[in-house]
């Protein structure tokens, strides 16, 4: 029976390597998104003298939004790999910039990134409010507030978990 238990444990531990396919897929999606970003940037660069101030602000917000999404992809790829698959060999790769995120911190950073992306999208909607119905703007605002509340709750729960962990060490 003990040998069966060892086999099951090895299979379960080895299955974490399946996640590598997801992280490689995210890396490929980041490359595709970089092409999309380059296209957006070239449109802005070509129209730099024809856009009025409002159009330029919207274009810049679109580029900032793309950068935040790309950063979110990188954060999930690197932190997910480090937390769930394997540690990076620090002698071969300089990964000190990651900050060693645990899964709780990663959730908060992802939620914060989603709130930032949602904020930029909502700002774009407000700047183009004549193209949206009041009902659509209300629903987009409600969704944004749901993201904000979720991020705040995740942060609050993480603080409670840290306090509980700290008090158990004493």
pTM for this structure? 0.73
Q: Point out the least confidently predicted range of 45-49, 112-116, 143-147.
A: 112-116
Band (pLDDT 50/70/90 cuts) for residue 128 is confident
Domain ranges of the chain: 17-91, 102-170
Quote the radius of gyration of the chain (alpha carbons, Å): 21
Q: What is the pLDDT of residue 165?
A: 76
DSSP letter assigned to residue 15: G
Q: How far apart are CA 151 and CA 60, in angstroms?
A: 25
């Amino acid at each position: 029976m003990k040998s069966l238990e060892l086999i099951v444990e090895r299979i379960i531990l080895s299955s974490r390597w399946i996640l590598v396919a997801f992280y490689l897929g995210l890396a490929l999606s980041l490359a595709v998104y970089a092409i999309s970003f380059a296209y957006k940037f070239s449109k802005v660069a070509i129209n730099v003298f024809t856009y009025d101030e409002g159009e330029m602000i919207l274009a810049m917000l679109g580029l900032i939004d793309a950068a935040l999404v790309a950063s979110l992809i990188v954060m999930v790829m690197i932190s997910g790999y480090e937390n769930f698959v394997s540690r990076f060999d620090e002698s071969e790769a300089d990964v000190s910039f990651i900050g060693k995120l645990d899964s709780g911190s990663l959730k908060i950073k992802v939620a914060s990134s989603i709130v930032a992306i949602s904020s930029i999208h909502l700002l774009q909607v407000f700047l183009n409010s004549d193209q949206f119905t009041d009902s659509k703007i209300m629903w987009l605002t409600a969704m944004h507030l749901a993201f904000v509340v979720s991020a705040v709750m995740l942060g609050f729960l993480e603080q409670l978990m840290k306090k509980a962990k700290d008090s158990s060490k004493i």
